[in-house]
C-alpha cells in the first residue's frame, strides 16, 4: 500500500476560524486522510498554527497579553476545536516551535549559499507616533483598485489585489491609527524567485492532474505582468524566527525576523519533527527526505485559493533552491470561497458561523456533511440556513437515519436483536447489489481523485438506494405471508447498515462510530458489494442505536439566522 503525506494550510493563530476557513483546507484534508487510512494506506496528516507575523502581534495586543502567551492559549483553543470537528491530525503543531525555528534558519543559510537570497535596500512606512517601521499588515487604507476602505498594506481582502503600502489611499497605522507616516530606507532579505521561474514552470508542468484552479493561479503569477517577482522574506518585528544563517548571525539583519510566509510552510516539515519529539513516531525523514525513503510518498496539500501562490511558487523555490533532497508536493487541492447567506463571512465583523459556535448548537457530523457535500471546488459556494436545514433533514435524518431506525426496530420487534436466518435473495436484491456495485466504484473513484461533492452525491445515492429497496421489498408486509422472505430482506438491510457505516465514516465519523458499536461490526473496507452484504451472518447480535440525527425545526433555523447575522465582539 502507498504512503500518503497530507498537509492542510495552517491557520493563523489570531482567533477562532469560521466555517469558510474550515472547508477551505482542514476538513477536506481530514476526509481524504480518513478515506486513505480506511483503504489501508499509511497516512501522515499534519497541520499546525501559523503563529508569527503581524496578525499574531495585533491579536495579542488587542487581547492585552504577551504575544507568546496569547499564541499558546489560542493554539489550545484551535486544537480543541479541531478535536471537536474530529479532524484526525497525526500531529497539530506550532510554527513557533524550536524545530521550525532551526529549520527555517537552516533553509535561509543554504539558500544564501546557493545565491538565492539578496540584501535589498528599500523604503518602508515608518510611523512617527509608534516609533517603528510598520509591516504591511500594520497599515490600512483605501484600496486603489476597488475603493475598499479597510485594505491592508499587502492585500485587499475585498478584491484580493496584491498591494504595496505606498499604493494605499490615506494610509494609517493599525496600532495607533496615526496618519503621520513617511517612507524611510531599511534593509531586508529577498528570495530571488525570478531566477527560478523556468525551473518552477517546468516543475508545475510536470505535475499530473492538478485542478484548473491551482494551475491557473500559479501560471498567472508566473507570467502575468512582469512575471514572477523576487519577494521580501524579512520584516521589522519582534515576534518571529530571528534572521540567522543557520546558527550564525546575519550581519546587518539584527533585530529582524523572517517573514511569516517564509517560515510558515517550512512548519509542514518541522511539524513531522515535532511529531517525533512528542513521542508519536520514530522517523520523520522517511516522509520528507527523498534520500530517506520519501521518494515513495504521495504528498497532497489542501488549501484555499488565496494560499496557492505561496505553495506553488514561494515554498517550492525554498525546497528546490536548497539543493537538498526534500519531498515536493505531488498534488495541490485548492478551493474557492464559501460565502455566507448573501454575503461574505467576516472574522472582524463576526458575520457567519464560527467553529466554536457551530459546535455549541449542533454536533460536528451535521456541519461536516453539509460543508463537504457543498465544498466550493469548482466555484464559490454559499451557506444558507434554508439549504443547511434541508440537507440535514433530508440527507441525514430522512435518508440515512431513518433507514437505520426502521430496519433495526423492525428486526427487534419481529426477530429479536440478532441477524435473522432463513429465506433467500431474489431479483430485488440482485438489482440493489448491481446498483451499489456501480455506485461504490464511482464513490471510490471520486474519493481517490478528491472530487468531494461528487463523492458525497454517490454516498447519498447509496443511502437512498437502501431506502428505496426497503420500501419496495416491504418486510412488514412480507412477514404476514412469508416470514422467511421478511428475514432475508432484514438480513440484507442490516448488512447494508454495516456497509453504510464503513463508507460514511470519512464524512460523518461520529455517526459511523455509533453504528459500529450498535452493529458490533468491524470497519474493514468492502472488497465487493456481494461479500459486504453477507458480512454479518445469521445470529450476529446488534442493538438498536439511538436516533442518529434529529431534524432542524423552522424556529431553530430562523433563530440562528438572526443570531449569526450581526457583529461579533
Select from 3.20.20.60, 1.10.10.60, 1.10.730.10, 1.20.950.20 the CATH code of 384-532: 1.10.730.10
- pLDDT class of 567 with cuts at 50, 70, 90: low
Q: Which residue has the cell 465519523?
A: 509
Q: Is the domain defined by 117-196+208-232 classed in CATH 3.40.50.720?
A: no
Query: Locate cell 502507498: which residue?
Result: 2
Q: Summarize the chain as % helix, strand, coil (round to 5).
A: 50, 15, 35
The SS3 call for residue 1 is: coil
Residues contributing to the annotated binding site? 143, 146, 156, 159, 347
Binding-site positions for Zn(2+) read 143, 146, 156, 159
What is the separation of C-alpha 326 from the centre of its chain, rounded to a whole number of angstroms?
23
pLDDT by residue (tens digit) across 423-443?
A: 999 999 999 999 999 999 999
Whether pTM > 0.75 for this model: the answer is yes
Under a CB-based contact definition with an 8 Å cutoff, are residues 197 and 164 in contact?
Answer: no
List the chain domain ranges.
Answer: 3-111+260-364+378-382, 117-196+208-232, 384-532
For 171-183, the three-class secondary structure string (H helix, E strand, C coil) is EEECCCCCCCEEE
Measure the CA–CA gap between 43 and 17, rounded to whole angstroms: 26
In whole angstroms, what is the distance from residue 543 CA to residue 417 CA? 6
Distances in Å between the Cα of 1 and the Cα atoms of 35, 305, 353, 447 are 13, 31, 39, 16
- Sign of the Cα pseudo-torsion (381, 386, 388, 392, in order): negative
Phi, psi of 262 (to 5 degrees): -90, -45
Rg of the chain (C-alpha set): 27
Query: Over the stretch 440-472, which tens digit does the pLDDT of each residue have?
Result: 999 999 999 999 999 999 999 999 999 999 999
Q: Give the model confidence (pLDDT) of 340-379 as tens digits.
A: 988 888 776 778 999 999 999 999 999 999 999 999 999 9
What is the phi/psi pair of residue 383, to 5°?
Answer: -85, 125
3-state SS, one letter per residue, for 371-435: HHHCCCCCCCEEECHHHHHHHHHHHHHHHHHHHHHHHHHHHHHHCCCECCCCCCCCHHHHHHHHH
- Vertex 92 angle, CA 89 and 95, to 5°: 145
Distance of alpha carbon 319 from alpha carbon 327, whole angstroms: 8
pLDDT for 524-561, tens place per residue? 999 999 999 999 999 999 999 999 999 999 999 999 99
Identify which has the larger pLDDT, 15 or 393. 393
Q: What is the mean pLDDT of the chain?
A: 94
Model confidence pLDDT, tens digit, residues 167-180: 999 999 988 899 99
Alpha-carbon gap, residue 440 to 360, rounded angstroms: 34
Task: Single out the residue of 224, 289, 252, 235 nearest to residue 55, CA to CA.
Answer: 235
* CATH no., domain 3-111+260-364+378-382: 3.40.50.620
Residues that constitute the known binding site for ATP: 347
Report whether pLDDT(132) > 90. no
pLDDT reading at 28 higher than 70: yes
**Per-residue pLDDT tens digits for 377-402:** 999 999 999 999 999 999 999 999 99
Amino acid at each position: 500500500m502507498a504512503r500518503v503525506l497530507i498537509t492542510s494550510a495552517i491557520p493563523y493563530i489570531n482567533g477562532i476560524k469560521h466555517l469558510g476557513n474550515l472547508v477551505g483546507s482542514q476538513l477536506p484534508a481530514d476526509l481524504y486522510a480518513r478515506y486513505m487510512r480506511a483503504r489501508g494506506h499509511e497516512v501522515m496528516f499534519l497541520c499546525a498554527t501559523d503563529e508569527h507575523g503581524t496578525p499574531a502581534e495585533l491579536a495579542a495586543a488587542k487581547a492585552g497579553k504577551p504575544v507568546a502567551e496569547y499564541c499558546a492559549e489560542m493554539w489550545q483553543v484551535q486544537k480543541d476545536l479541531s478535536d471537536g470537528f474530529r479532524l484526525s491530525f497525526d500531529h497539530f503543531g506550532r510554527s513557533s516551535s524550536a524545530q521550525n525555528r532551526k529549520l527555517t534558519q537552516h533553509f535561509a543559510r543554504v539558500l544564501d549559499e546557493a545565491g538565492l537570497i539578496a540584501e535589498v535596500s528599500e523604503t518602508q512606512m515608518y510611523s512617527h507616533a509608534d516609533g517603528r517601521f510598520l509591516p504591511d499588515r500594520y497599515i490600512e487604507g483605501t484600496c486603489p483598485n476597488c475603493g475598499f476602505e479597510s485594505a491592508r498594506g499587502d492585500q485587499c481582502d475585498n478584491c484580493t489585489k496584491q498591494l504595496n503600502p505606498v499604493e494605499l489611499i490615506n494610509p494609517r497605522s493599525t496600532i495607533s491609527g496615526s496618519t503621520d507616516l513617511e517612507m524611510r530606507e531599511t534593509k531586508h532579505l529577498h528570495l530571488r524567485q525570478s531566477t527560478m521561474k523556468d525551473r518552477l514552470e517546468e516543475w508545475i508542468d510536470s505535475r499530473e492532474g492538478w485542478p484548473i484552479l491551482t494551475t491557473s493561479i500559479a501560471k498567472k503569477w508566473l507570467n502575468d505582468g512582469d512575471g514572477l517577482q523576487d519577494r521580501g522574506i524579512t520584516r521589522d518585528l519582534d515576534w518571529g524566527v530571528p534572521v540567522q544563517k543557520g546558527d550564525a548571525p546575519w550581519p546587518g539583519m539584527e533585530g529582524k525576523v523572517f517573514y511569516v510566509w517564509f517560515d510558515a510552510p517550512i512548519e509542514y516539515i518541522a511539524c513531522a519533527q515535532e511529531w517525533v519529539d512528542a513521542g508519536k513516531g520514530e522517523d520523520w525523514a522517511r516522509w520528507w527526505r527523498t534520500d530517506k525513503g520519501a521518494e515513495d510518498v504521495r504528498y497532497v496539500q489542501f488549501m484555499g485559493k488565496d494560499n496557492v501562490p505561496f505553495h506553488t511558487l514561494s515554498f517550492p523555490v525554498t525546497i528546490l533552491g536548497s539543493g537538498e533532497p526534500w519531498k515536493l508536493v505531488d498534488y495541490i487541492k485548492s478551493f474557492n470561497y464559501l460565502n455566507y447567506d448573501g454575503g461574505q463571512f467576516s472574522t472582524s465583523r463576526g458575520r457567519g458561523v464560527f467553529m466554536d459556535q457551530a459546535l455549541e448548537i449542533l454536533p460536528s457530523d451535521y456541519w461536516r456533511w453539509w460543508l463537504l457535500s457543498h465544498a466550493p471546488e469548482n466555484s464559490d459556494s454559499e451557506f444558507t440556513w434554508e439549504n443547511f436545514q434541508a440537507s440535514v433533514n433530508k440527507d441525514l435524518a430522512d435518508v440515512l437515519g431513518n433507514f437505520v431506525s426502521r430496519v433495526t426496530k423492525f428486526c427487534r420487534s419481529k426477530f429479536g436483536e440478532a441477524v435473522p436466518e432463513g429465506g433467500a435473495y431474489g431479483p430485488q436484491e440482485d438489482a440493489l447489489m448491481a446498483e451499489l456495485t456501480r455506485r461504490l466504484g464511482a464513490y471510490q473513484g471520486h474519493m481517490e481523485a478528491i472530487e468531494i461533492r461528487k463523492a458525497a452525491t454517490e454516498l447519498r445515492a447509496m443511502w437512498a438506494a437502501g431506502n428505496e429497496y426497503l420500501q419496495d421489498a416491504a418486510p412488514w408486509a412480507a412477514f404476514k405471508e412469508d416470514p422467511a422472505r421478511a428475514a432475508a430482506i432484514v438480513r440484507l438491510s442490516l448488512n447494508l447498515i454495516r456497509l453504510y457505516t464503513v463508507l460514511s465514516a470519512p464524512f460523518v465519523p461520529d455517526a459511523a462510530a455509533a453504528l459500529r458499536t450498535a452493529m458490533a461490526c468491524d470497519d474493514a473496507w468492502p472488497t465487493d458489494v456481494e461479500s459486504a452484504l453477507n458480512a454479518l451472518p445469521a445470529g450476529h447480535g446488534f442493538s438498536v442505536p439511538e436516533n442518529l440525527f434529529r431534524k432542524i425545526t423552522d424556529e431553530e433555523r430562523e433563530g440562528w439566522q438572526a443570531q449569526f447575522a450581526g457583529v461579533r465582539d
